[in-house]
């Protein structure tokens, strides 16, 4: 099912005493989620991810704008009539019910013509449980399950009605690191198998990058960029997006462009074709550094971390915003850990220039 958000806005009135400033949690969102795809809705805490998801589910009503599932305008439909499956961070299972009863619950609440026979309900519950591989735990209570298993039950419960859209709000945040990895692979597999159009909300860029067909990066209720994860990583539209994606983070230098050359401090480090003379932010991906004896960018070496395939060179530079520059180079390089200075050349396609005021990309 294709989903369309059209000029979707949600404002919350200001709260508390004193001058009240309203919050625009979702600000004129326009985008289309292609049928059968998994979209990662990504941004820092408070940027409006949950609000956007709740608008899709119907738990919140927009201030203005429309939502379409396929060609159907669902903006005024209550949640139970939208055919959405919801999964939250805290699994929200019924503690006194078994796994089987928890999964059956949405089916037992179907009314009228939608009502199913007991046999069909049991069959569908088992099918959903198999999909998330908890069919061996059907008679247990939630308290007898691990966090990962509980979240699988929650996912099975969201899937049992075969929703038109699956909405997941930070579903992995309560799991430990290993389970988080495993469960995100599971979600990907289930989504591919069921082909249900899915919106996956997370503040974790790595999670969004690894699981999504497309990511939507938000900040302060405003969409910054939409694209395939690799596209957004390779061509960030502004400094915020460049900084938000990637581990270790991008290295941001105060630089300046003069005569189509990029300068960091006094060093002429790279060509900057087509960019007008101006002060800039020059952001360099960790993999954008080339270790070079006579390289133009001189940094103070503070450490060398060898990690098998790669070496991380840790350094500082007075014009770098990051407390430590992290440059990732191949382990085939030799780095003298005792040296005071390390010199780099830069890979042009791994360096992005942004204007100093708004942080917009300079091309």
Q: Which stretch, 46-54, 131-139, 278-286, 323-331, contacts Mg ion (CB under 5 A)?
A: 46-54
Tokens of 295: 């390289």
What 3-state class would DSSP assign to 168? strand
Q: Pick the closer one to ligand ADP by CB: 50 or 102.
A: 50
Return the number of the residue (50 or 60) whose C-beta is nearest Mg ion.
50
List of residues 6+ apart from 271 with CB closer than 8 A: 260, 261, 262, 348
Stretch that binds Mg ion, among 28-36, 49-57, 173-181, 294-302 (CB under 5 A): 49-57
Which one, 49 or 243, has the nearer CB to ligand ADP? 49
What SS3 class is residue 105?
helix
Question: For residues 164 and 69, is the Cβ–Cβ distance under 8 A?
Answer: yes
Q: In the 8-state DSSP scheme, what is residue 236?
A: -
Find the shortest distance in angstroms from Cβ 339 to ligand ADP: 44
User: In terms of CB distance, is 8 or 262 closer to ligand ADP?
Assistant: 8
| Min dist. Cβ of residue 297 to ligand ADP (A) | 36
Rg value, the chain, Cα: 25
Nearer to ligand ADP, 244 or 354 (CB): 244
Q: Which CB atom, from 12 or from 94, has the smaller least distance to ligand ADP?
A: 12
Q: Which of the listed partners (ligand ADP, Mg ion, none) does 225 bind, with a CB threshold of 5 to 8 Å by partner kind? A: none
DSSP string, 313-363: EEEE-TTBSSSSEEEEEETTS---TT-SEEEEEE-GGGEEEEETTT-BEE-
Part in contact with Mg ion (CB under 5 A); list of ranges 36-44, 47-55, 185-193, 354-362: 47-55
User: 254, 263 in Cβ contact below 8 A?
Assistant: no
Residue 61: CB minimum distance to Mg ion, A = 18
Contact 277, 345 (CB under 8 A): no
The least CB distance from residue 219 to ligand ADP, in Å, is 10
List Cα–Cα distances, 321 to 153, 264, 325, in angstroms: 44, 12, 9
**Distance in Å, CB of 86 to Mg ion, minimum:** 13
Spatial neighbors of 118 by CB under 8 A, at least 6 apart, are: none
- 265 is in the binding site of which of ligand ADP, Mg ion, none (Cβ under 5 to 8 A by kind)? none
Establish if 50 lies at the interface with Mg ion (CB under 5 A): yes
12 binds, among Mg ion, ligand ADP, none (CB under 5 to 8 A by kind): ligand ADP
Q: Smallest gap, in angstroms, from Cβ of residue 24 to ligand ADP?
A: 8
The region of 13-21, 50-58, 101-109, 251-259 touching Mg ion under the rule CB under 5 A is 50-58
Tokens read off for 256: 């300046």
Give the position of tokens 């396609």.
Answer: 349
Binding part of the chain for Mg ion, among 23-31, 44-52, 260-268, 340-348 by CB under 5 A, reads 44-52
Element (H, E) at 252: strand 251-258
Number of amino acids touching Mg ion (CB under 5 A)? 1
Q: Which does 25 bind (CB under 5 to 8 A by kind): Mg ion, ligand ADP, none?
A: ligand ADP
Which positions ≥6 away from 280 have C-beta within 8 Å?
A: 255, 256, 257, 262, 353, 354, 355, 356, 362
Instruction: Tell whether residue 225 is a contact of Mg ion (CB under 5 A).
Output: no
Alpha helices, DSSP H only, in the chain? 49-57, 99-108, 118-131, 147-159, 177-194, 205-211, 229-234, 239-244
Nearer to Mg ion, 59 or 324 (CB): 59
- Residues of this chain that interact with ligand ADP (CB under 6 A) are 12, 23, 25, 43, 45-51
23 binds, among Mg ion, ligand ADP, none (CB under 5 to 8 A by kind): ligand ADP
d(CA 294, CA 308): 26
Residues that bind Mg ion (CB under 5 A): 50
């Amino acid at each position: 099912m294709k989903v369309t958000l059209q000029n979707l806005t949600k404002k919350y009135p200001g709260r508390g005493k004193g001058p009240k400033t309203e919050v625009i949690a979702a600000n004129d969102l326009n985008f289309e989620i292609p049928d059968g795809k998994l979209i990662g809705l990504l941004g820092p805490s408070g940027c409006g991810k949950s609000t956007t998801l709740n608008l899709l589910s119907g738990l919140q009503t927009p201030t203005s704008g429309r939502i379409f599932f396929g060609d159907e305008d669902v903006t005024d439909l209550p949640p139970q009539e939208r055919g959405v499956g919801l999964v939250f961070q805290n699994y929200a299972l019924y503690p006194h019910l078994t796994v089987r009863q928890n999964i059956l619950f949405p089916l037992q609440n179907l009314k009228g013509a939608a009502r199913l026979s007991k046999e069909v309900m049991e069959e569908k519950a088992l099918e959903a449980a198999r999909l998330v591989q908890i069919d061996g735990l059907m008679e247990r209570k939630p308290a007898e399950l691990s966090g990962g298993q509980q979240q699988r039950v929650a996912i099975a419960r969201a899937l049992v009605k075969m929703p038109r859209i699956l909405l997941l709000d930070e579903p992995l945040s309560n799991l430990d690191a290993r389970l988080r990895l495993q469960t995100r692979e599971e979600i990907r597999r289930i989504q591919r198998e069921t082909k249900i159009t899915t919106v996956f909300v997370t503040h974790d860029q790595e999670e969004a990058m690894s699981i999504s067909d497309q990511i939507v990066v938000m900040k302060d209720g405003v969409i910054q960029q939409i694209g395939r994860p690799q596209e957004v990583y390779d061509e960030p539209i502004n400094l915020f997006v460049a900084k938000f994606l990637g581990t270790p983070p991008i290295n941001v230098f105060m630089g300046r462009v003069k005569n189509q050359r990029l300068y960091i401090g006094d060093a002429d480090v790279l060509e900057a074709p087509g960019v007008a003379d101006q002060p800039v932010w020059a952001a360099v991906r960790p993999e954008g550094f080339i270790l070079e004896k006579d390289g133009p960018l001189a940094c103070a070496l503070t450490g060398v971390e060898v990690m098998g395939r790669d070496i991380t060179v840790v350094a500082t530079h007075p014009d770098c915003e990051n407390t430590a520059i992290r440059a990732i180079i191949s382990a085939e390089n030799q780095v003298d850990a005792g040296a005071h200075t390390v010199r780099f050349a830069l890979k042009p396609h791994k360096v992005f220039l942004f204007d100093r005021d708004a942080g917009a990309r300079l091309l």
